[in-house]
Amino acid sequence: DGGITQSPKYLFRKEGQNVTLSCEQNLNHDAMYWYRQDPGQGLRLIYYSQIVNDFQKGDIAEGYSVSREKKESFPLTVTSAQKNPTAFYLCASSTWGVGTDTQYFGPGTRLTVL
């Protein structure tokens, strides 16, 4: 089955720790995205990548970092510089072309800071 997988489903972090959230897709999509969702709010873009070895900051990139070494993978690191990291994190991917760039989402990772 083609799709997007995220792991882990739940993640607990102590203050001062860096943690990495995994995102893998087998849809052969060029573009990948990371969003943060807080209760009662819409999705806010953290980072996105249109091609391998290239990525751009979204609206709330401070305290986060990403890499895109493979087309299938786009891991997100939440660093200790992120002051309020408790949230639901969603990874997405899409093709890149007019009329085809619908975005599909993974199941999400819920991060809680202890």
Partner 1 sequence: EDQVTQSPEALRLQEGESSSLNCSYTVSGLRGLFWYRQDPGKGPEFLFTLYSAGEEKEKERLKATLTKKESFLHITAPKPEDSATYLCAVKGYNFNKFYFGSGTKLNVKP
Q: Which is nearer to partner 1, 16 or 42 (CB)?
A: 42
Residues 5, 104 contacting (CB under 8 angstroms) = no
**Tell me, what amino acid is at 91?**
C
Whether the CB-CB separation of 4 and 91 falls below 8 Å is answered with yes
Give 62 or 101: the residue with its C-beta nearer to partner 1: 101
Under a CB-based contact definition with an 8 Å cutoff, are residues 75 and 10 in contact? no
What residues between 2 and 31 interact with partner 1 by CB under 8 A?
4, 6, 31
Tokens at 1, concatenated: 């089955």
Q: With binding defined as CB under 8 A, does residue 105 bind partner 1?
A: yes
From the CB of residue 36, how many other CB atoms can be counted at a distance below 10 Å?
23
Subset of 40-99 contacting partner 1 (CB under 8 A): 40-43, 45, 48, 50, 56, 58, 88, 90, 98-99
Contacting positions for partner 1 (CB under 8 A): 4, 6, 31, 33, 35, 40-43, 45, 48, 50, 56, 58, 88, 90, 98-99, 101-108, 110
